[in-house]
């Protein structure tokens, strides 16, 4: 049955999801703030994110610049704005969201200050955790747009909702697995962005494949400790939303976080790197929140810690590497 779906966020991932859900047979509206992006989408293209591609026929997507109109009457609302904007957008749209509407969060970050996950932010603003699902996993937007095989996880504490939401996205080239581990699925997507920054630094500095493999292996342990301490499940850590997304984001050339890390590893200043980008690298914005979360749980997270020191300018890469390599020896 075709549903009325609104995607909030016209960046690369929001656009990819809107196109995918349209191809799956639904009536899709997409909302954004950037006039040029919206004008492009009305013509069935997105030159900023997918240059040279014809994405759909003009008019296939309902393109909205009015948030209230986009949210009103939707049966499903997909939040695809950067994590720093989720609360603001949810507050602005709150009066227009119908009580039975399903909310799907696809932003990967912790809220600065509160350390809340995005599902918790949405629940706090909209008061409906039982209607919220989270989509996460290894899914570059450019590959979804090109209909390359992709598999993700969709989680909700309500089994029926996670199954329903997985079926909503499940279509031809796009496979969705259902989960009830909301905490593990969501945190995996958050933490891997920080590790991807560190992996990019290793590669940008030419430190080799040995160093990258060691970093990712030990970083996965940090992710495991945090996820388990927050109530996530061990099986989730080896699944698509943790290990799968970590491998993609830390090694794939389309990864924004890896790109930032590589430029930092080459010695470029963070401000210059971020100023040259058209999209948000969530790991930069959420790294310090991830470290605060680990510290609040009494968990050692040396890779996340040193990544934060580099981002804040307290350590350079060589100092961070020395600090990691000179830690006391221990059994694995």
Average pLDDT over every residue of 99-104: 96
> What is the DSSP track for 69-123?
HHHTT-SEEEE-S-GGGHHHHHHHHGGGS-TT-EEEE----B-TTT--BHHHHHH
Average pLDDT over every residue of 66-81: 98
Pairing of strands 76-79, 102-105: parallel
Do 154 and 177 touch, CB atoms closer than 8 A? yes
Whether CATH 3.40.50.720 fits 4-180: yes
pLDDT tens, residue by residue, 166-207: 999 999 999 999 999 999 999 999 999 999 999 999 999 999
Q: Per the structure block, which two tokens stand in for 28?
A: 């899709």
What is the per-residue pLDDT for 248? 97
- Alpha-carbon dihedral of residues 291, 295, 299, 304, nearest 10 degrees? 20
pLDDT tens, residue by residue, 11-70: 999 999 999 999 999 999 999 999 999 999 999 999 999 999 999 999 999 999 999 999
User: Quick check: is 192 catalytic?
Assistant: yes
- Closest to 149 measured CA to CA, from 178, 174, 166, 177: 174
Q: Is the pLDDT of residue 87 over 90?
A: yes
Give me the residue spans of the domains in the chain: 4-180, 183-325
pLDDT tens, residue by residue, 204-249: 999 999 999 999 999 999 999 999 999 999 999 999 999 999 999 9
Q: Is the pLDDT of residue 4 over 80?
A: yes
Question: What is the value of pTM for the model shown?
Answer: 0.95
Predicted confidence band of residue 281 (pLDDT cuts 50, 70, 90): confident
Q: Is the pLDDT of residue 278 over 80?
A: no
Predicted confidence band of residue 127 (pLDDT cuts 50, 70, 90): confident
Dmax (CA) of the chain: 61
Which residues pair with residue 7 across a beta bridge?
30, 78
Do 281 and 257 touch, CB atoms closer than 8 A? yes
Q: Quick one: CATH architecture of 183-325?
A: Orthogonal Bundle (1.10)
What is the per-residue pLDDT for 280? 84
Tell me, yes or no, if the two domains 4-180 and 183-325 fold the same way: no
Give ∠ CA 147-59-15 in degrees, rounded to 5.
Answer: 40
What is the per-residue pLDDT for 327? 85
Give the rounded percent of residues in the chain with a pLDDT score beyond 70.
100
Instruction: Kindly name the residue from 192, 268, 285, 330 that is annotated as catalytic.
Output: 192
Predicted confidence band of residue 331 (pLDDT cuts 50, 70, 90): confident
């Amino acid at each position: 049955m075709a549903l009325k779906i609104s995607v909030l966020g016209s960046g690369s991932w929001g656009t990819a999801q809107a196109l995918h859900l349209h191809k799956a047979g639904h009536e899709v509206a997409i909302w954004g703030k950037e006039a040029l992006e919206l004008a492009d989408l009305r013509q069935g293209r997105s030159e900023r994110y997918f240059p040279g591609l014809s994405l759909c026929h003009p008019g296939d997507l309902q393109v909205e610049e009015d948030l209230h109109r986009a949210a009103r009457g939707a049966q499903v609302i997909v939040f695809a704005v950067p994590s720093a904007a989720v609360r603001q957008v949810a507050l602005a749209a709150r009066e227009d969201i119908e009580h039975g509407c399903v909310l799907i969060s696809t932003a990967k970050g912790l809220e600065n200050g509160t350390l809340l996950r995005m599902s918790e932010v949405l629940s706090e603003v909209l008061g409906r955790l039982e209607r919220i699902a989270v989509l996460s996993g290894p899914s570059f937007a450019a590959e979804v747009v090109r209909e390359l095989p992709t598999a993700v996880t969709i989680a909700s504490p309500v089994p029926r909702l996670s199954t329903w939401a997985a079926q909503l996205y499940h279509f031809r080239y796009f496979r969705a697995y259902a989960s009830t581990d909301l905490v593990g699925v969501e945190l995996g997507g958050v933490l891997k962005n920080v590790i991807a920054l560190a992996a990019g630094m290793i590669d940008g500095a030419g430190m080799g494949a040995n160093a990258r493999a060691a970093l990712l292996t030990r970083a996965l342990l940090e992710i495991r400790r945090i996820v388990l301490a927050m109530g996530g499940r061990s099986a989730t850590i080896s699944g698509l939303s943790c290990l799968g997304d970590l491998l993609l984001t830390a090694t794939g050339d389309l990864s924004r976080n890896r790109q930032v890390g590589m430029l930092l590893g080459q010695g470029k200043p963070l401000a210059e790197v971020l100023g040259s980008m058209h999209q948000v690298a969530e790991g930069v914005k959420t790294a310090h929140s991830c470290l605060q979360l680990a510290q609040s749980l009494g968990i050692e997270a040396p890779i996340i810690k040193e990544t934060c020191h580099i981002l804040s300018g307290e350590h350079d890469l060589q100092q961070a590497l020395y600090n990691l390599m000179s830690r006391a020896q221990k059994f694995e």
